[in-house]
Each structure stands twice: as C-alpha cells, then as structure tokens.
A and B are shown apart, each in its own frame.
Chain A
Amino acid sequence: MKLYRFVIEFLQLAILLGVAPAFTGWVRMLKCWSQGRTSAGIFQPYRDILKLFSKDIFLADNASWIFRFTPYLVFGTAVLAGAIIPMLSLELPIASTADVIVLVALFAIARFFTALAGMDIGTAFGGMGSSREMTIASLAEPAMLMAIFTVSLASKSTSLSQMVHVIYSGQIALRPSLAFAFFAFILIALAETGRIPVDNPATHLELTMIHEAMILEYSGRHLALIEWASMMKLFLFVMLGVAAFAPWGIAESGDIIAISLAFVFMLLKLVIVGIVLVMIETGLAKMRIFRLTEFLGSAFLLATLGMLSFFILE
C-alpha cells in the first residue's frame, strides 16, 4: 500500500514534468489565436526545450558556481513543490512532511538563487532584473502568505491535503474570506509567474523585462532547465489555486478509477484556466513598474480583508 502511494507520487511528478510545457503551449496557442496569428502548436515548448538541451553552454568568464548551480536548484525546487501540491490524489507521502509555508519557501529559494545568478555575471540587465524581481517578491510574498493563512484559518490547517478535505466535507460554503483570498491569490499568481500586468513573458524589451532580464546570460542546458522550471511554476500555481479553491475532482483515495477521473478533471481545469489567463492578459496592459506597488498592495489588501472578514463575519 505504501509503495502504491509512492507510485501515485511519481505519477504526479511525471505529469508535472510532462504536462507543464503543454499547458504553456496551450496558453501561447490561445494567445496567438486571440491576436489573429497562426500558432506554433501546443507542443512547441517541448521542441524548444529539446532544442536547448542539444545546444552547447556558453558561459561567461566570470561566472561563479552560483551561476552554474542555479538552474539545477530552480528545477529541483519546482519538482519538489510539485510533490507537495495535490494534483491527482490527496494521499501523497511527501506532502505530509511539508505544508504550504514550505511551498512558499521553496519558491522563495528558487527566486533568491535566480536573483543571485542574475547579478553573478555582472551585466547591467541581470542586476536590473534581480532588483526588480526582489522588489516584486518583497511585496508578493507577504500577500501570498496572508492569502494562504486565510485559507488555512478556514480549514484550521496549513496542510494542503487537509484543506481539500475540509472543503470536501462541505463545511465551507459561501465564505467571504475565501472569496477575498481567491482574488488575492489570482493577483499574486499573476505576479509570481510573471504574467502580463506585471511582467511580459514574451518580450525581451530591455526597459520592461523582469524575469527574462535575470536569465539573459543563460544558454543551452541551463536555459532549458530554467525555462522548463518556469513552465512548471506556472503549472504549479494553477494547481495550487485549484487545490485551495476548487479541488473538486481530486481523488481522496488511491483508487485507480478515481485517479484517472482526477486526471481528466485536471486537464479540464487546465483548459479553462488557460482561457481565463489569456482573457486576463489580452484585456490588460502591462503596468508601469512603479504602479506595481499598488497592484501588489491591492493583493495584500484583499488577503488581509479576507483574514479580517474571517474574524468579523464568520
């Protein structure tokens, strides 16, 4: 039985590694359609990653071990985070050792090293990107934690599996605190995954890029890992939101039928989230970087309001 649960865990990791690029591909495809362009197809990200793996690494002379180590670390944390978030089943062996706060910390570690790597080479763009990234992070992380605390207040636990259990048991119906936390989460997720009102994943325009500026010096295998990790990050944020706010479909037991049903539900949710994401991105313009404090401030405000309304209204 124990072994079986590990099998599910590995299955989940495989899905993470496999489906994440497809999700990114789906989003890009939708975006192309919405802009009236021909898309490169849903599988283009796989081809990109493969292409990058087959290329040589071109390393700057003054690159230190941090620069070389970072891609592996970023990739590793993403995989580890994927083992914690329930995607298919609630009975994940690794998930019981780590809760949501650890999850936030994992993302933070990855970001910290990316920022270090961005500064490591000493180019202007890297430093600029790192500084911007850390500015965003310093605002997004408190808001993220606040939103998570609100959800865990409602479910009286910081473990994601436990949260889903509580939602399943029907104790939570119309909860204003969860609604606030949900909206806060959407804003934070947009910021954390570098989507449009905050950052534009498709541009290399020097004045606006944030995440792309930090990884500008990477090439070959390193770049492939980082790109892959950032695809996984987007995927994981979707999964996290789904698990915390709309977990219906995730299997409670390890039963094969339930798991396969959960997989279908997951794909369905991904399709829907992709459409919503593209709608958000098409509807909004990228913000000036100085307005970001307000954007993330609103996220923090929403999360705090969620927490307050938990105490006041529930």
Chain B
Amino acid sequence: MDLNVAAQLNSFLAAFVLLTAFGMLVQRRMYGLVHLFTWQGFFLSINTAVVGFVAGKHHLYISSILTLSLKVILLPYILHVLIRRLKVHKEVEVVVNIPMTMMMGIALVIFSYYLMAPVTQLSTLVTRSTLAVALATVMIGLLMMITRKHAVTQIIGFLAMENGLFFAATSATYGMPLVVELGVALDILIAAFIFGIFFFHIHTTFDSLDVDQMARLKEED
C-alpha cells in the first residue's frame, strides 16, 4: 500500500467518522444511535491500523485492537444490555429542530477547520488534514450532549466526543504514548461502569431517563 493510497484511505475514513457523528446528531432511535456509534468506532479502529501501517508505528496496532475491542464490541454491548434492561429501546426521543441542529453541526465543522488551519500547516504528517475532522467530531459530540435530553443519548455523545479525541491523537501525532492511551482506555472503561450504575439510579429515582426531569437544583431567589 503506497503512501498516497493510505492518505486517501485515511481521509476517506475521516469522512465516514464525521458522517457517523452527524448521523448520531440527528438519529432518534436508541438502537440506531448505538449502531452508529459502533460504526464510528469501527472506522476509527481501521483508520488507526492504516495510520500505524503508514507510519510504521507498531504501538498503533495495539491501540487499534484496543479500540476495536472497547468501542466496537464492549461498549456497544454494555449499551445494548442497558437499553434492554431499562426497557428504553422503544423510546423515540423528541429531537427539536433537526435542520437547525445540522446547520450548527456544519458551522462547527467550519469553525474547527478555521481553528486547526495553523496547526495543520505546521504538520508534516500524512494524516494532518484529518485533524480538523477530529476536532469537529469532538465539537459535534459536545453539541449532541447539549441538544439531547436523554441520559443514554448524552452518554453516547460523551463517548463520541472521546472518539474524536482519540482520532485527534492519531491524526495529529500518530498516537499518544502507549501509557497514556492505555490510561485513557481504562478511564473510559471505568466511566462506562459508572454510567451504567447511574442509569439504574436515575431510572429508579425518576422513573425515566429523561434528563429534563432533573431540574430541582436551581438557584433559588
């Protein structure tokens, strides 16, 4: 695989990561969201392997496998189980004003591009152009957490944001040092267990996973 093909493959996968991010932004159904998230992790994992191949960095293969097992297999599985146990799989979330959200997403992509342009120019890596996409994915995850009102959706947004960060590390620097990547993966795993516990707490306390119900703590006058 020559460098040019790899670079094109890399940008192609970047485009798909971005597409799945947008897909999650507008997806209403719970399982649909989980599937999109799985796909995003899958693209990410392949991309990491491709970058590892191009750069000759073997530790990237490890992170690729780590991504595959964590974000394509384990986390979606946990989410599936939670969704089934909590019986929210039939819930269709009310998403306000999808076209508006999409426009905001596009604006965020442009903003990320603008923000990352100076950094991209300084880089000599093949993958440099995907840095803006990575930041955009982070931002879209953030937007998703703001616009959505369901606890599960917010968590998926959070995880999507983490995907973007991982992507940024791969494309900006061919991956962070292995110690850091392992640590981050561990943190995510812990976070996964915590939100799992949380879903049950919220569900038993509020009888629903709608975050809008949680509005008791407000500044009182």
Contacts and interface: CB of A to CB of B under 8 A. Distances in A.
Interface of A: 173-177, 179-180, 293-294, 297-298, 300-302, 304-305, 308-309, 311-314
A37 to B, nearest CB: 32
Given A176-B14, A180-B19, A301 B106 contact: yes
Contacts of B16: 176
Nearest to A291: B98
B51 interface: no
A175 B99 contact: no
B19 A298 contact: no
A305 B22 contact: yes
Nearest to A179: B15
Contacts of A308: 106, 109-110, 113
B12 interface: yes
Given A174-B9, A293-B99, A301 B22 contact: yes
Given A301-B106, A308-B113, A176 B15 contact: yes
A311 B14 contact: no
Given A176-B12, A305-B22, A308-B113, 18 more contacts: A173-B5, A173-B8, A174-B11, A174-B12, A175-B12, A176-B11, A179-B15, A180-B19, A293-B99, A301-B105, A309-B14, A309-B18, A309-B133, A311-B113, A312-B109, A313-B15, A313-B133, A314-B11
B26 interface: yes
A298 B22 CA distance: 9
A305 B109 CA distance: 9
Contacts of A177: 15
Nearest to A293: B99
Contact of B113 (A294, A301, A312): A312
Given A294-B98, A301-B106, A305-B18, A312 B8 contact: no
A302 B98 CA distance: 14
Q: Interface residues of A: mostly helix, strand, loop or mixed?
A: helix
Contacts of B12: 174-176, 179
A294 B132 CA distance: 26
B130 to A, nearest CB: 7
Contacts of A176: 11-12, 14-16
10 contacts: A173-B8, A174-B11, A175-B8, A177-B15, A305-B106, A308-B109, A308-B113, A312-B109, A312-B113, A313-B15
B170 interface: no
A59 B110 CA distance: 54
B129 interface: yes
B62 interface: no
A253 to B, nearest CB: 30
Nearest to B110: A308
Given A304-B106, A308-B109, A311-B113, A294 B99 contact: yes
A297 B19 CA distance: 14
Nearest to B112: A312
B176 interface: no
A240 B14 CA distance: 27
A79 B113 CA distance: 43
A227 B5 CA distance: 46
Contact of A312 (B19, B22, B98, B132): B132
B68 interface: no
Nearest to A294: B98
B106 A312 contact: no
A175 B10 CA distance: 10
Interface in B78-122: 98-99, 102, 105-106, 109-110, 113
Given A180-B15, A305-B106, A313-B11, A297 B99 contact: yes
Nearest to A301: B102
